[in-house]
């Protein structure tokens, strides 16, 4: 059997992240997925359905679903995220950090 020599995902990603445009897109998607995971986790801990959170926050259930999926095509406003977090018993603060290297 012939041995296949491939590259690891980590090495491919490291190479791709050297491209400024790719890095910006990657970081943006990672940010939305972090928010998605956080909202989904907090909603689960609170024991609410997406529909319950949506109704209490005054937004649509599909908005909650898009947010939890990390869909960055129609991003919620900070006001919407704030309302959703308040329904779940949380608030948020912004933490701004300087990048080591500008893309």
Q: What is the pLDDT of residue 52?
A: 97
List the Cα angle 65/66/70 in 5-degree steps.
Answer: 115
pLDDT in tens, 7-58: 888 888 888 888 889 998 998 899 899 999 999 999 999 999 999 999 999 9
For the chain, the domains span: 20-87
CATH code of the region 20-87? 1.10.260.40
CB atoms within 10 A of CB 74: 9
Radius of gyration in angstroms for the set of CA atoms belonging to the chain, rounded to a whole number: 18
What's the predicted TM-score (pTM) here? 0.79
Q: What is the pLDDT of residue 7?
A: 85
pLDDT category of residue 1 using cuts at 50, 70 and 90: low
The DSSP code for 23 is H
For range 57-70, the mean pLDDT: 94
The DSSP code for 19 is S
What tokens does 28 get? 């943006």
Predicted confidence (pLDDT) at residue 61 exceeds the cutoff of 70: yes
């Amino acid at each position: 059997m012939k041995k296949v020599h491939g590259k690891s995902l980590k090495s491919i990603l490291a190479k791709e992240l050297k491209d400024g445009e790719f890095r910006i897109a990657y970081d943006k998607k990672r940010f939305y997925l972090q928010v998605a995971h956080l909202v989904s986790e907090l909603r689960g801990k609170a024991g609410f359905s997406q529909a319950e959170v949506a109704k209490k926050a005054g937004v649509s259930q599909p908005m909650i679903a898009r947010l939890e999926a990390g869909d960055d095509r129609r991003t919620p406003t900070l006001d919407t995220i704030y309302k959703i977090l308040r329904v779940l018993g949380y608030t948020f603060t912004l933490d701004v950090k300087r990048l080591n290297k500008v893309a």
